């Protein structure tokens, strides 16, 4: 306890401080705060157009925020490029999978692996190890994959950059119940390997089973934050997102009616 | 004895591998001017190599990185003008102008890439057309470089270093060596991180960035390398012809030919530009010969027709077509050998 070296547990991995983003008069994100500690799995939920994706893109460096600060591992990344975010240790997936269609699955993942392994053989070894974890066949062309495979490939590609923080943008959407269970298992394994995760997701089952902490967005604001169990009981969340008919956390159909 | 027959069959199919195809192609290119020694054939051979070099150079940035330049004649032209400018100014052998042409082309590529590679989409293509045309028009009015008349090289060789030969054969082998070097460099790139990054950028800049690919820097490097080799192609052209004017250096057809040759064979593949040149150049030479001077407009028709065919039926070029057809051919061949 007296040893000064042991205070690292209190250090935040990512801190977003009153981040805002406006497009002209439209305030997509109006001052959102997020603190992520090493080892967290945090969920971002909210109705479509609530600002989660914009906020997410701010965290990944793709959209420079209009205001606020983003600090990752002690470094200010507020205005840094997506490349700099990747180098710093933030990996991400996309809501609409953007795989390199003309390349094989292995080569897709190697592009990510090259970030920390400039030599081809090292990058290939790294890519193969990641593919083992994610369960994709290395030699097939990426274009032959269906949507679930592409989403999985995006996760693999991001993992190959050896991130400390992984941002998953609806990576589990559009899966069949069986595929969903597989994918949840995969996210668990990734988390157990020591990677911190922030996940945007509409499927409440994913949020309830995976995350320890949830932020609910509505109209650019964070309207609630806490454990999944406590958040789904908050009247403001039910009103804005889950719908009045919401009883069980598993219900997912009601997400669309504002 | 069925197993033995099977092994033999497999052996034949294996022997038809890409490696053998490359060896056969290399042998054919080496022997070509010796076997077909007519003036027409040698002319076509040299024109083919020059087109293959230009298109392969374009391919690095236009094919692999997917940044479609339609103004590569600016680098070709710089490479063509500099040797003859050095000759006309100081009487230097044209070959001495090659490094300066490369340096100028790299400089120009950086000037163009810096503003345009910030943007995505067609801005780069449009900027390259505009700059190439500006240079062409400007060169036509600039007396220092001979204005519309152009520049002339040494008519009679003062020594071997002028590289002025009566026969086409030395040019043929010189060009072939440069093509081999360029393909070796391309192979080298293809296998390295740089090559992976180029293909990733072509597919999705956004995804590439998220994986830490320094997109702008990588595109600039690709353009600079491509410009350097395109410049060499221009220098080779002028060393052979001994004459250059604005249209044959910076004309839009020079740029368009590179795009079409590469796209016809398969842009972003190692041998695509070579295959494209192998088909297009003899075709072009044949139409020019059959229809004489009156057929010069046919080049445009030919190019237009090819663009339509590629866009409609085979955006990946002949290389992709072959990749789809080859398995079926193998199957057929295997069947034949077994029965």
* CB-based contact, B207 to chain A, within 8 Å: yes
Q: Is residue B176 part of a domain?
A: yes
Task: Centre a 10 Å sphere on the Cβ of residue A166 and count the other Cβ atoms it contains.
Answer: 24
Which band of pLDDT confidence, cut at 50, 70 and 90, is reported for residue A244?
low
CA torsion, ordered A235, A238, A241, A247, to nearest 10 deg:
160
- Residue A99 CB coordination number (10 Å): 24
State the Cα–Cα distance between residues A13 and B79, nearest whole angstrom: 53
Q: Which pLDDT score, from 0 to 100, does residue B174 have? A: 94
End-to-end, the C-alpha distance of chain B in Å comes to 13
- Given an 8 Å threshold on Cβ–Cβ distance, is B209 in contact with A86? yes
Compute CA distances A17 → A162, A213, B246, whole Å. 25, 17, 59
Give A107's contacts in chain B (Cβ within 8 Å). Answer: 196, 199
Asked if B206 and A102 come within 8 Å (Cβ–Cβ), the reply is no
* Alpha-carbon dihedral angle through residues A75, A79, A81, A87, given to the nearest 10 degrees: 0
Nearest Cα to Cα of residue B84 among B149, B172, B167: B149
The pLDDT tens digits of the residues spanning B265-283 come to: 899 999 999 999 998 898 8
Task: Please tell me the distance from the alpha carbon of residue B251 to that of residue B152, in angstroms, as a whole number.
Answer: 18
Residue B74 lies in domain: 40-251
List CB contacts of B69: < 8 A, sequence separation 6 or more: B58, B61, B62, B124, B125, B128, B223, B226, B255, B259
Does B6 fall in a domain?
A: no
Flag whether pLDDT at B7 surpasses 50.
Answer: no
Helix axes B73-90, B252-265, angle to 10 degrees: 130
Nearest to A207 by CA among A55, A65, A96, A52: A52
Rg for chain B, CA atoms, rounded = 21
> How many CA within 13 A on the CB side of residue B74?
29
Is B28 contained in some domain?
no
User: Do residues A55 and A32 touch, judged by C-beta distance below 8 A?
Assistant: yes
Q: Measured between CA atoms, how close is B84 to chain A, in angstroms? A: 42
* Residue A221 · residue A246 · CB < 8 Å: no
Domains identified in chain A and CATH numbers: 12-96+164-255 (3.40.50.300)
- What whole-number distance in Å separates Cα of residue B239 and Cα of residue A108? 43
pLDDT digits (tens, 9 = 90+) for B199-243: 999 999 999 999 999 999 999 999 999 999 999 999 999 999 989
Predicted confidence at residue A46, as pLDDT, reads 87
Do the bridges between strand A67-72 and strand A12-23 make them parallel or antiparallel, or are there none, so unpaired? antiparallel
Contacts of residue A87 in chain B, CB cutoff 8 Å? 212
Question: Are B206 and A94 inside 8 Å of each other by CB?
Answer: yes
pLDDT over 60 (residue B100)? yes
Q: How many CA atoms lie within 13 A of B160 on its CB side?
A: 1
In the block, tokens 């120009």 appear at B108
Give the residue from B190, B192, B200, B210 with the most A CB atoms within 10 Å of its CB, the best one to mutate.
B210
B339 pLDDT tier (thresholds 50, 70, 90): low
- Which residues does residue A197 pair with via DSSP β-bridges, in sequence order? A41, A166
Find out whether B63 and B267 touch, Cβ atoms under 8 Å: yes
Question: How big is the A-B interface in CB pairs under 8 Å?
Answer: 76
- More confident site: B288 or A68: A68
Residue-wise pLDDT for A203-227, tens only, equals 888 888 899 999 998 888 888 888 9
Beta carbons of A153 and A105 less than 8 angstroms apart? yes
Greater pLDDT, A146 or B307: A146
Residue found under tokens 């505009």: B130
DSSP state, residue B64: I
The distance of A115 to chain B (nearest Cα, Å) reads 6
The residue of chain A with its CA nearest to that of B215 is A83
Q: What is the pTM of this model?
A: 0.88
Q: β-pairing, A41-45 with A67-72?
A: unpaired
Top-confidence residue, B331 or B97: B97
**Beta strands A165-169 and A196-200: pairing type?**
parallel
Residues 6+ apart with CB under 8 A from B22: B271
Angle in degrees, 0-180, between the axes of helices B39-59 and B18-35, rounded to the nearest 10: 140
For residue B20, the model assigns a pLDDT of: 84
Q: What is the pLDDT of residue B57?
A: 97
pLDDT digits (tens, 9 = 90+) for A184-198: 999 999 999 999 999
B292 band by pLDDT with thresholds 50, 70 and 90 = low
Test the B interface: residue of A62, A64, A83 with most B CBs within 10 Å: A83
Closest approach of A74 to chain B, Cα-based (Å): 19
Parallel/antiparallel/unpaired status of strands A67-72 and A165-169:
unpaired
Q: Is residue B277 included in any domain, yes or no?
A: no
Of residues A87, A100, A107, nearest to B207 (C-beta): A100
Within-domain flag for B269 = no
CB contact under 8 A, A98 and B207: yes
- What are A3-43's pLDDT values in tens digits? 444 444 457 999 999 999 998 888 889 888 999 999 999 99
The SS3 of residue B137 is: helix
- Best CA proximity match to A56, nearest among A89, A34, A23, A81: A34
Number of domains in chain B: 1
- For residue A77, the Cα-to-chain-centroid distance in whole angstroms is 17
Whether B298 maps to a domain, the answer reads no
What's the pLDDT tens digit per position in A100-125?
A: 999 999 999 999 999 999 999 999 99
Q: Listing from the earlier edge strand, what are the strands of the sheet with A75-76?
A: A26-37, A12-23, A67-72, A75-76
- Using CA atoms of B230, B233, B237, B240 in order, give the dihedral in degrees to the nearest 10: 160
Distance CA A237, CA A242 (A): 6
Alpha carbons A248 and B154: distance in angstroms, whole number: 89
Nearest to A148 by CA among A185, A179, A181: A179
Nearest-by-Cβ selection for B191 from A60, A100, A120:
A120
Digit-coded pLDDT (tens) for A129-164: 999 988 898 999 999 998 889 999 999 999 999 999
Alpha-carbon gap: A38 to the closest alpha carbon of chain B (Å): 21
* Residue-averaged pLDDT of chain B: 87
**Residues 6 or more apart from A63 whose CB is under 8 A from it?**
A21, A54, A57
A165 half-sphere exposure, CB direction, 13 A CA radius: 27
Interchain contact, B200 vs A111, CB within 8 Å: yes
Question: Is B338 within the bounds of a domain?
Answer: no
d(CA B13, CA B280): 29
Q: Please state, in angstroms and rounded to a whole number, the distance separating the CA atoms of residues A160 and A130.
A: 6
Written as six digits, the tokens of B227 are 């410009």
Q: Which of residues 239-268 of B touch A (CB under 8 A)?
A: 268
In a domain, B327, yes or no: no
* Kind and range of the H or E run holding B77: helix B73-90
Query: Which residues in B118-185 belong to E strands, given as ranges?
Result: 151-152
- In Å, how far are A9, B15, B100, B195 from B5, measured between CA atoms? 69, 15, 60, 41
DSSP A50: S
């Amino acid at each position: 306890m007296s040893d000064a070296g042991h205070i690292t547990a209190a250090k935040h991995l990512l801190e977003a401080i009153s981040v805002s983003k406006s497009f002209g008069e439209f305030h997509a994100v109006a001052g959102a705060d997020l603190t992520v500690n090493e080892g967290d799995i945090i969920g971002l939920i909210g109705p479509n157009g609530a600002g989660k994706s914009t906020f997410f893109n701010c965290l990944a460096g793709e959209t420079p925020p209009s205001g606020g600060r983003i600090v990752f591992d002690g470094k200010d990344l507020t205005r840094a490029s997506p490349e700099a975010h990747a180098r710093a240790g933030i990996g991400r997936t996309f809501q609409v999978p953007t795989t390199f269609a003309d390349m094989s699955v292995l080569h897709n993942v190697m592009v990510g692996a090259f970030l920390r392994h400039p030599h081809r053989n090292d990058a290939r070894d790294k890519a193969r190890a990641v593919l083992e974890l994610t369960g994709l066949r290395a030699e097939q062309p990426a274009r032959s994959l269906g949507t679930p495979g592409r989403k999985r490939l995006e996760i693999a590609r991001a993992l190959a950059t050896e991130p400390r923080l992984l941002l998953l943008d609806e990576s589990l959407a559009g899966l069949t119940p069986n595929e969903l269970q597989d994918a949840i298992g995969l996210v668990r394994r990734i988390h157990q390997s020591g990677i911190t995760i922030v996940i945007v997701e509409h499927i409440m089952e994913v949020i309830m089973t995976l995350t320890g902490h949830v932020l609910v967005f509505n109209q650019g604001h964070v309207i609630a934050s806490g454990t999944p169990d406590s958040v789904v009981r908050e009247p403001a969340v039910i009103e804005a997102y889950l719908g009045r008919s919401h009883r069980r956390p598993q219900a997912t159909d009601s997400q669309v009616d504002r | 004895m069925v197993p033995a027959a099977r092994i033999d069959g497999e052996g034949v199919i294996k022997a038809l591998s890409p490696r053998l195809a490359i060896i056969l192609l290399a042998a054919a290119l080496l022997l070509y001017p010796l076997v077909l020694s007519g003036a027409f054939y040698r002319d076509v051979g040299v024109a083919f190599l020059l087109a293959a070099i230009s298109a392969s150079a374009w391919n690095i940035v236009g094919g692999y990185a997917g940044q479609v330049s339609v103004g590569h004649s600016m680098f070709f032209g710089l490479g063509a003008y500099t040797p003859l400018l050095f000759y006309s100014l100081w009487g230097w052998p044209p070959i001495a102008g090659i490094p300066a042409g490369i340096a100028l082309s790299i400089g120009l590529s950086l000037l163009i890439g810096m503003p345009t590679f910030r943007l995505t989409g067609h801005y780069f293509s449009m900027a390259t057309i505009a700059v190439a045309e500006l240079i062409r028009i400007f060169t036509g009015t600039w007396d220092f470089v001979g204005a519309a008349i152009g520049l002339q090289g040494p008519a009679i060789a003062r020594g071997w270093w002028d590289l002025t030969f009566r026969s086409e054969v030395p040019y043929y082998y010189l060009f072939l060596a440069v093509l081999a070097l360029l393909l070796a460099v391309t192979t080298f790139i293809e296998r390295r991180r740089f090559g992976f990054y180029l293909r990733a950028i072509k597919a999705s800049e956004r995804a590439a960035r998220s994986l830490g690919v320094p997109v702008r820097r990588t595109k600039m490097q690709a353009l600079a390398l491509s410009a350097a080799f395109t410049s060499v192609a221009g220098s080779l052209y002028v060393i052979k012809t001994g004459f250059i004017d604005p249209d044959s250096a910076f004309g839009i057809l020079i740029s368009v030919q590179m795009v079409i040759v590469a796209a016809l064979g398969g842009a972003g593949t190692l041998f695509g530009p070579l295959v494209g040149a192998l088909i297009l150049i003899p075709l072009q030479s044949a139409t020019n010969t059959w229809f004489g001077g009156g057929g010069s407009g046919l080049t445009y028709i030919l190019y237009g027709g090819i663009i339509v065919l590629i866009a409609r039926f085979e955006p990946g070029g002949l290389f992709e077509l072959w990749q789809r057809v080859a398995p079926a051919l193998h199957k057929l061949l295997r069947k034949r050998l077994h029965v």
